Structure 1
Amino acid sequence: MGAGGGNQGRTLDRALDVLECLERARGPLRLSDIAREADLHLATTQRTVNQLVRRGYVQQGRLGYSLGPVVLGLAHGFVVNDRVSTIATPVLTELSATTRLTSSVFVRSGDERILIARVSGADPLRYQFPIGRRVSLNVGGGKVLLAGWPDAEIEDYVRRYPEVPLASGRIQGERALMEDIRGVREDGYYLAESERELGALSLSVPVYDADKELVGAINLVTTTDVTSAEKLLTWLPELSRGAGAIGARV
């Protein structure tokens, strides 16, 4: 690649770094915050942000910079055109109508999972989990995705993320995570309680396509004040049928 191509590639990388930084933020960021989080020089950050502002991908307000309205158009394009998302929605609608619980589908994105489809149940959850939210793979239903990785990739992941504090107050170490992953491989599902949110219950199973490739995971989510872990587990056959219905059409 020539010098021009290399510069263009670096420019694109910087723009994506800035966008990902703002996407993960819980509020507007100052220019210095963006530079620090994206590991860029301040002057480089200023040039990159200015270009993104001109294109509508970033907006500047009184408190700092945040993602601009153009990003919503990109998100809409994904929801409309992504095959897993469009196939999953009617399946989730039927699943939630049957179980009266919130159902969702998420996919892997690097070391995280992203919620791409969700249908609320009769009893709304007391915490927000919007479409597009990122969550680490080592808590809750993310372990279903981890279980589908080759052993070498799992070992590398566990080395990089040896411990994670759970909402219950427990510190999950390497051994506990590996035991959960082995459990998913043996049982075909994962039942989580108070891992990401205190009092949250989730039951997750993998979604495989016709070629037996892991494309995502589907789950039912509720809370301990609505039902018990034992009762949630009785919905495993329905959840597995939902996973099969999605996988057969992907």
Structure 2
Amino acid sequence: MIKSVEKAFRVLDSMSLADGPLRLSDIARMNDMTRSNAFHLLQTLQELDYVRQVEDSTLYELTLKTFEVGARAVSRNSLISVAHPELVRLSDKVPENVMLNTRDGLMNLVADRIESRSVVRTLAHLGARTPLQLVSGGKVQLAYGPESLLAKVCANLVAVTELSVTDPAVLRAQLAQIRAQGYAVAIGEVNEAAKGVSCPLRNRHGDVVAAVSISGPMDRLGNDLIAHYVALLRETIAQIEAAWADGWRGQSSVARPSSA
């Protein structure tokens, strides 16, 4: 691994998580760098137009070039392009977040999202990455994934809330139930006030390559709604699968899983 490249991407990552512009000292501290190293990296990123200095200040912020790069990748993503209008139609029927989930290594990635129109909502931003076992979309992909993937996940179980699954035996039992019933439910494992339900999306070969989810506050997504939401998800997924004529080409048409 080229350390300077790694450090540059770490800086971009940390700046993307900030609520606003950052001081040089903050960027250095967040990335465990000296001020001098952070300054030189920021100068390079400025020259490449990924970072800019806020006018009349010593603060730094990201430009929209990172968005431009991501937008170009999304525009070439056949699954996202096909799924998006169906997600919009689903969001018209439910008052919660609607998401398309793919896998990136051991993480669930929100590849597309239609935000809830409700005043009270749960956070699930576009591009969010969460351990597979902690969210319903990730559980679906894990349930239908290879044993080698599950073994790696079981070796890296982490708790985010008191409800997070940290016992491999419990996780394996959950995944067996998901395969039996054909959908996953996650309750408070990342956000104690949130609940999600997901169903698998398959390519033309029958492989599960993504999941479509509905998520929202615990008090609105009661057990009495699960069957109704599962039916809506399955209808939506059937439309996506039918329209996705090109199928799955070596997993290059969605976020490519890493070797993890």
Tell me if TM exceeds 0.5: yes
Q: In the alignment, which residue of structure 1 is the partner of 2:251?
A: none
Distance 1:136 1:26 in 2: 23
Which of residues 176, 183, 193 in structure 1 aligns to 2:170? Answer: 176
Letter in structure 2 aligned against 1:172:
V
Q: Give SS of 1:172's match.
A: coil
Matched, 1:146 2:139: no
Q: Determine which structure has greater relative contact order: mean sequence separation of CA pairs < 8 Å that are 6+ residues apart, divided by chain length.
A: 2
Letter in structure 1 aligned against 2:109:
I
Distance 1:211 1:128 in 2: 33
Shift of 1:233: 2.5
Q: In the alignment, which residue of structure 2 is the partner of 1:73?
A: 68
Alignment of 1:156-195 (within 5 A): 156-161=152-157, 163-166=158-161, 169-174=162-167, 175-195=169-189
Q: Give SS of 1:56's match.
A: coil
Q: Give SS of 1:20's match.
A: helix
Matched, 1:52 2:52: no
Distance 1:239 1:69 in 2: 33
TM-score between both structures, scaled by the size of structure 1? 0.79
Letter in structure 1 aligned against 2:206:
K
Same amino acid, percent of matched pairs: 23
Contact 2:96 2:121 in 1 (8 A): no
Matched, 1:215 2:209: yes
Q: Give SS of 1:205's match.
A: strand
Letter in structure 1 aligned against 2:80:
S
Bigger mean CA offset, 49-58 vs 92-101: 92-101
Alpha-carbon spacing, 1:170–1:192, altered in 2? closer, same or farther (3 Å): closer
Contact 1:145 1:217 in 2 (8 A): yes
Q: Give SS of 2:135's match.
A: coil
Matched, 1:107 2:80: no
What CA RMSD, in Å, does the superposition of the two structures yield over aligned residues? 2.9
Distance 2:148 2:172 in 1: 12
More helix by percentage = 1
Shift of 1:41: 6.7
TM-score between both structures, scaled by the size of structure 2? 0.77
Contact 2:122 2:194 in 1 (8 A): no
Bigger mean CA offset, 55-64 vs 132-141: 55-64
Structure 2: tracts of 5 or more residues without a match: 248-260
Shift of 1:90: 1.0
Q: In the alignment, which residue of structure 2 is the partner of 1:3?
A: none
Letter in structure 1 aligned against 2:193:
G
Alpha-carbon spacing, 1:34–1:221, altered in 2? closer, same or farther (3 Å): same
Alignment of 1:59-138 (within 5 A): 59-61=52-54, 64-121=59-116, 123-138=118-133
Distance 1:126 1:216 in 2: 23
Q: In the alignment, which residue of structure 1 is the partner of 2:222?
A: 228
Structure 1: tracts of 5 or more residues without a match: 1-5
Which of residues 173, 188, 195 in structure 2 aligns to 1:201? Answer: 195
Contact 1:203 1:233 in 2 (8 A): no
Bigger mean CA offset, 54-63 vs 136-145: 54-63
Bigger mean CA offset, 212-221 vs 57-66: 57-66
